[in-house]
Structure 1
């Protein structure tokens, strides 16, 4: 008998993130066939690309066999291979939808995507029912400590089991699970900030107060053993604020190795980990990936063309981070934050009566660490298309000499004490890395997501006023 298949469709439910999938089932006298999981088609319809790694099948010999309610620390795609079931799901995640219920009958024509923390249960309605779980993490004994359970007979959620539980087949463990009032909600996965001791890392502490913040003493991204000790399954996002930034020292043999270790090789390891654990990787890049010889602002898709060993290591890190799949690369310039930086140096020289010579033929925009941190938070909240985004402060580009003169003026000193010199004059006789003359980055892409960076001069005023 030929079955008329329903079209593939993804439907929302009252439980946030819990999705019902209508599967086309093609049948004839021999039986039936279906594409139970079809990544390209299903993700195009809105199903998360949840990267499954393990498939489990539960065989249920008798009608009335009932299993659950189990909320596991991973996402699941559940379906029926034979027979029919009554499925029930209860949101056991921390948040306003805690305790929300959805239930439906399932046959081969239906699948359900169950996000992490939503309790899953089913009751077999036919003999010989096979129920399939496609999950995006490997099961282990230790993972069971992260489960959250709810009693099948909980009066609050009141699941209307077709076969009363007193006549159903249950395990003793399922009978003993707590009522909803006694359940500890499953917390969301966390954000991990690496490089928390730097200027950006310090700014990220105020933007992500509930994240785990690790400096090199806690997690050394250049040490694979250190990375292996991290419980990556606890995290949804990793923000890499760690970087080797000693531009001139990177030209030495020792410095070049260190720069490549932090800025490139370690990023490749983080991208590999992000892919393996379905994490979003946020990585910070630099204007030094360009040679600065073209006119106008650099867009995100401009060809990489670094001049220095530091720039080469950062360009390699960009390519490595993009391999994570779920990634945001924030390309920035002239970062100023809590720590040693150009603005603080100029303010100190002004106060000590030193009249500096400052490069006047390199142009760009300042980026204050708090603005860069805010841009990261914005991208993670809005979730635009993955990829590279330029992020600096706004306003007209300036030279280093013009920035220095502004610092002198804003701190009550004569801006004329700053003398502008060319880069060739400034670095004559010094061991220094080549620097891009044009560091101006085009901001239209990040602005289209709704993020509007502060004007650099206004941010500079605030920064110096707070010192």
Structure 2
């Protein structure tokens, strides 16, 4: 446990300042007071100015006030499942905060004497304690969750008098007014640390979901619509999204989609494709907005018509089929929430069914396939998408859209199939055919139009500090592991 004390006794301040403290995320605000013969005026919460100085844009939804009739009234320590901005309206208080969050700063303490010229931003999980230093003290706090009786079950408490915490209260606690509940709070040594924010991944058993499992810190994987045995969240039933317990979730990764490109063209599948790829994304985006989560969503090269040889993140959408249209619509929805990472991929390869696995299976069985040679792009390995997601989240890269694929030269599907056969030293022969010839060989099967060019420009994600690996090297590693 370490203790930091700041005293701010001056009744007037000249400029707005935000000061960091020893407790990560706990910030002291120095608030200008504009005084005249009538009293004073201050801007208690000014989003544009305060966020420019480093205060989180914490989106408050409720304003609470606390009145203390007599000096010595003391409350705490309460660590709550929301962020709060505390300020004084009348009188003075002594504030003490102990970090009750799991991690290296657990038990760290900051104390501040506060009048109207001081505010304190308190992140979720940091325990609050206050002592009124004058009669008739009033302080207010903005919070970014609505209070409910059920929310109190998520509180973490510590005892105001614990010598291990070591707060030197200006008015000794034996002369203070405290509640029975506060008197019964446990010492720091008996406190179960406040749980860290949760990460939820939708799409538990897909290629990307499997790649994310080892990279994230204890992610949660509620079920998706494509996995009916895991129906805690069913993307075809928005009510299951709304009913999920989102309390304490800071990051939501949507790795699920209706990805059967040809099946999406069939009339009987249109409603399902739209429900999973668009309607569910709208609900997930609203959940992210409501709970101020970072939203990670996966896009596709199919939002483009393939007329350009290289696709940048800012190219206008021009989808050729139902699947591409649903993905483009979802991209537009996700972009309405500023705190998002949208990763656009192409030609994904991972665990489960994919083009490379199919070619390797045919090679092992001695079958010689016909593969189109007039569609061009680069493979994207799901492990690399997962690594890019982790990089963006952990480095705090600017929010927005990022292309991610393997690096290296553009190839056709035929080139990749031939390379698989070469690497596996397979006896079969890969025959190149045009898309028109390939589709004609499928008879009456419904086929969706594919973009001719799917190569993605990787400049933006490189600028964010992530280096996409060479696609051919990753192909060799993939085959070596599996075959």
TM over 0.5: yes
User: Distance in 1 between the 2:290 and 2:320 partners?
Assistant: 33
Are the equivalent residues in 1 in contact too, given 2:222–2:233 (CA < 8 A)? yes
User: Distance in 2 between the 1:286 and 1:463 partners?
Assistant: 22
Matched, 1:80 2:83: no
- How do 1:39-438 and structure 2 match up within 5 A? 39-208=47-216, 210-216=218-224, 217=230, 218-295=232-309, 297-413=310-426, 417-428=429-440, 429=443, 430-438=445-453
Are the equivalent residues in 2 in contact too, given 1:268–1:320 (CA < 8 A)? yes
TM-score by length of structure 1 reads 0.97
TM-score by length of structure 2 reads 0.94
* Alignment match, 2:4: none
State the secondary structure of the residue aligned to 1:207: coil
* CA offsets 1:108-157 (integer angstroms, 9 cap, x no match): 11111100110111111111111111111111111111111111111012
User: Distance in 2 between the 1:412 and 1:145 partners?
Assistant: 61
Are the equivalent residues in 1 in contact too, given 2:72–2:171 (CA < 8 A)? yes
State the secondary structure of the residue aligned to 1:329: strand
* CA offsets 1:185-218 (integer angstroms, 9 cap, x no match): 1010110111111111111112225111122223
Which one is further off, 311-320 or 227-236?
227-236
* Alignment match, 1:7: 15
State the secondary structure of the residue aligned to 1:212: coil
* Alignment match, 1:449: 464
State the secondary structure of the residue aligned to 1:243: coil
How far 1:80 moved relative to its partner?
A: 0.5
Q: Which sections of structure 1, spanning at least 5 residues, go unmatched?
A: none
Are the equivalent residues in 2 in contact too, given 1:256–1:310 (CA < 8 A)? no
Are the equivalent residues in 1 in contact too, given 2:27–2:121 (CA < 8 A)? yes
User: Distance in 1 between the 2:447 and 2:180 partners?
Assistant: 72
User: Distance in 1 between the 2:248 and 2:86 partners?
Assistant: 23
User: Distance in 2 between the 1:36 and 1:335 partners?
Assistant: 50
* CA offsets 1:195-243 (integer angstroms, 9 cap, x no match): 1111111111122251111222231122122112211013111110110
User: Distance in 2 between the 1:260 and 1:228 partners?
Assistant: 18
User: Distance in 1 between the 2:164 and 2:305 partners?
Assistant: 64
User: Could you list the runs of 4 or more consecutive aligned residues of structure 1 that deviate by over 6 angstroms after TM superposition?
Assistant: none
Are the equivalent residues in 2 in contact too, given 1:337–1:370 (CA < 8 A)? yes
Q: Which sections of structure 2, spanning at least 5 residues, go unmatched?
A: 1-10, 225-229
User: Distance in 2 between the 1:89 and 1:444 partners?
Assistant: 44
Are the equivalent residues in 1 in contact too, given 2:299–2:345 (CA < 8 A)? yes
User: Distance in 2 between the 1:6 and 1:271 partners?
Assistant: 41
User: Distance in 2 between the 1:11 and 1:327 partners?
Assistant: 28
* Alignment match, 2:3: none
User: Distance in 1 between the 2:265 and 2:190 partners?
Assistant: 61
TM-align CA RMSD: 1.3
State the secondary structure of the residue aligned to 1:436: coil
Against the structure 1 CA distance between its residues 4 and 149, is the aligned structure 2 distance closer, same or farther, given a 3 Å change threshold? closer
